[in-house]
């Protein structure tokens, strides 16, 4: 496959409700949409880097720079045989996994359309629908949080993740657990703790949580190992796992018992599958994380989550949990059993609404 033109779109889309984590609060979500043209076909990819470097060092601005100045020029007009070949050609850029992952997603969309196969089928998916949950940001008080959770339960979500930070952790989780004794519940700290102050989280161990996500710094596998040793509840790593090698080392070290897989964070869908495979071989459960994606990235997440080792519900909520208007013509909705259908049309299985795309585009760049 030869791609003769890439177009980058810097999008800013209003969220239906602000989303607050331990690293900040956003009302709009930025991303870069990538359009790749090959003969008469168009493929789409989503680079999930946000405006601010709170979750990772990548931002929409760094990704724009890395994409337009380095990665796209290295791919334009080249024969791209498979995802490994694509990654090999991007290997001269150190880091910047989200920029690379956006390009790989566009490549898969084109490849699926060329071969009339859905992404789910190409990646080895086995499920027509995947179990999902909802990730709820920090609310103004524990009572407000309980009310927000109740609203999502009415909509049919059967697994809830709440964000925590120092001072807003055990009280929030306890309030939700008291209100909903049987709820599948988990928490995510987004690296807000140190080994020293994470002992304040010990009461969480009594709340029958599915897991505790990323309590400590992203570059701190060893202290996650120390922390896991004093918790019964499985620790799950998100920010710390940037490659299959990190995943193996974290598991060998006992730094976690579950891994959150996000294709953007690990540099692409092919690496996400590699991590899935490594975890499956060890019997370690994985689940698909989310980055508030548009319909493009959401379609890719659903395909990824259809692989057999994704045994825990993903952070892949319905479109209306995020956006009043999306840039895809398809909107994803929640089935009564807390699942979302996996697209089965070729490639990502979604089409882009050009008018909507234009409405949310801050900047557009055509290359090639
Ligand atoms: O840590 O999982 C995270 C959103 C942005 C950045 C990081 C995270 C999240 C979420 C939202 O938790 C998941 C989603 O619904 O897309
Ligand atoms: Mg997380």
Report the alpha-carbon distance of residue 18 to residue 41 in Å, rounded: 36
Q: Which residues' Cβ are closer than 6 Å to ligand 1?
A: 55, 135, 188, 190, 238, 289-292, 315, 317
User: Mean per-residue pLDDT for 246-271?
Assistant: 98
Beta carbons of 211 and 204 less than 8 angstroms apart: no
- Residue 124, token pair as written in the block: 């080895």
Pairing of strands 286-288, 41-47: unpaired
Helix (H, G, I), strand (E, B) or coil at 317: coil
User: Mean per-residue pLDDT for 130-144?
Assistant: 98
163 catalytic per annotation:
yes
Q: How confident is the model at residue 31 (pLDDT cuts 50, 70, 90)?
A: very high
Pairing of strands 5-21, 361-367: antiparallel
Report the alpha-carbon distance of residue 71 to residue 296 in Å, rounded: 20
* pLDDT for the residue 146: 98
pLDDT in tens, 38-62: 999 999 999 999 999 999 999 999 9
Ligand 1 atom 13, closest CA: 290
Cα-based angle 210, 229, 281 (whole degrees, multiple of 5): 65
Report the alpha-carbon distance of residue 266 to residue 257 in Å, rounded: 18
Beta carbons of 348 and 300 less than 8 angstroms apart: yes
Ligand found nearest the CA of 294: 1
pLDDT in tens, 336-357: 999 999 999 999 999 999 999 9
Ligand 1 atom 4, closest CA: 291
* pLDDT for the residue 230: 97
Q: Which atom of ligand 1 is nearest to the CA of 262?
A: 2
pTM above 0.95, yes or no: yes
Ramachandran quadrant class, 39 (left: phi over 0; alpha: psi -120 to 50; beta: rest): left
* pLDDT for the residue 44: 98
Sort 355 into a burial class: Cβ within 10 Å, 0-12 / 13-18 / 19+.
exposed
Q: Which atom of ligand 1 is nearest to the CA of 188?
A: 1
For tokens 């607050």, what's the residue?
A: 20
In angstroms, the first-to-last Cα distance of the chain is 15
Pairing of strands 286-288, 258-261: parallel
262 catalytic per annotation:
yes
DSSP symbol at 257: S
Ligand 1 atom 9, closest CA: 291
Catalytic residue of the set 100, 113, 161, 163: 163
pLDDT in tens, 286-306: 999 999 999 999 999 999 999
Beta carbons of 134 and 320 less than 8 angstroms apart: no
Pairing of strands 339-341, 129-131: antiparallel
Beta carbons of 324 and 356 less than 8 angstroms apart: no
Residue spans of beta strands (DSSP E) within the chain: 5-21, 24-38, 41-47, 129-131, 134-136, 159-163, 184-188, 212-213, 235-237, 258-261, 286-288, 339-341, 361-367
Report the alpha-carbon distance of residue 202 to residue 260 in Å, rounded: 22
Report the alpha-carbon distance of residue 57 to residue 6 in Å, rounded: 24
pLDDT in tens, 196-240: 999 999 999 999 999 999 999 999 999 999 999 999 999 999 999
User: Mean per-residue pLDDT for 250-275?
Assistant: 98
* pLDDT for the residue 341: 98
By residue count, the chain amounts to 368
Ligand found nearest the CA of 138: 1
Helix (H, G, I), strand (E, B) or coil at 23: coil
Catalytic residue of the set 113, 161, 165, 262: 262
Beta carbons of 229 and 253 less than 8 angstroms apart: no
Q: How far is CA 79 from CA 4, 85, 121, 279, 318, in A?
A: 10, 9, 23, 32, 37
């Amino acid at each position: 496959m030869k791609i003769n033109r890439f177009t980058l779109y810097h999008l800013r889309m209003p969220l239906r409700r602000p989303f607050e984590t331990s690293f900040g609060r956003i009302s709009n979500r930025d991303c870069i949409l990538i359009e790749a043209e090959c003969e008469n076909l168009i493929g789409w990819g989503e680079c999930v880097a946000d405006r601010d470097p709170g979750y990772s060092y990548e931002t929409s601005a760094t990704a724009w720079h890395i994409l337009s100045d380095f990665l796209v020029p290295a791919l334009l007009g080249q024969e791209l045989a498979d995802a490994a070949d694509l990654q090999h050609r991007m290997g001269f850029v150190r880091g910047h996994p989200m920029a690379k992952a956006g390009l790989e997603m566009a490549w898969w969309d084109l490849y699926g359309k060329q071969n009339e196969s859905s992404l789910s089928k190409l990646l080895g998916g086995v499920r027509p629908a995947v179990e999902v949950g909802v990730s709820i940001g920090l609310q103004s008080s524990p009572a407000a949080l309980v009310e927000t959770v109740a609203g999502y339960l009415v909509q049919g979500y059967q697994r809830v993740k709440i964000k925590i930070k120092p001072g807003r952790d055990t009280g929030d989780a306890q309030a939700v657990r008291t209100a909903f004794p049987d709820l599948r519940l988990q928490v995510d700290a987004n690296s807000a703790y140190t080994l020293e102050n994470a002992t304040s989280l010990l009461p969480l161990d009594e709340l029958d949580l599915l897991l505790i996500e990323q309590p400590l710094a992203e570059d701190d596998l060893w202290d996650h190992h120390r922390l896991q040793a004093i918790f019964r509840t499985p620790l799950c790593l998100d920010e710390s796992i940037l490659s299959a090698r990190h995943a193996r080392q974290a598991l060998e070290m006992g730094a976690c018992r579950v891994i959150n897989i996000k294709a953007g964070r690990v540099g692409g869908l092919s690496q996400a599958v590699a991590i899935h495979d490594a975890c499956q071989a060890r019997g370690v459960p994985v689940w698909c994380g989310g980055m508030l994606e548009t319909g493009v990235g959401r379609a890719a997440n659903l395909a990824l989550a259809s692989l057999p080792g994704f045994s825990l519900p993903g952070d892949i909520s319905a479109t209306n949990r995020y956006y009043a208007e999306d840039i895809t013509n398809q909107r994803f909705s929640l089935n009564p059993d807390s699942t979302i259908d996996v697209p089965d049309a070729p490639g990502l299985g979604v089409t882009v609404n050009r008018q909507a795309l234009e409405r949310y585009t801050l900047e557009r760049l055509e290359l090639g």
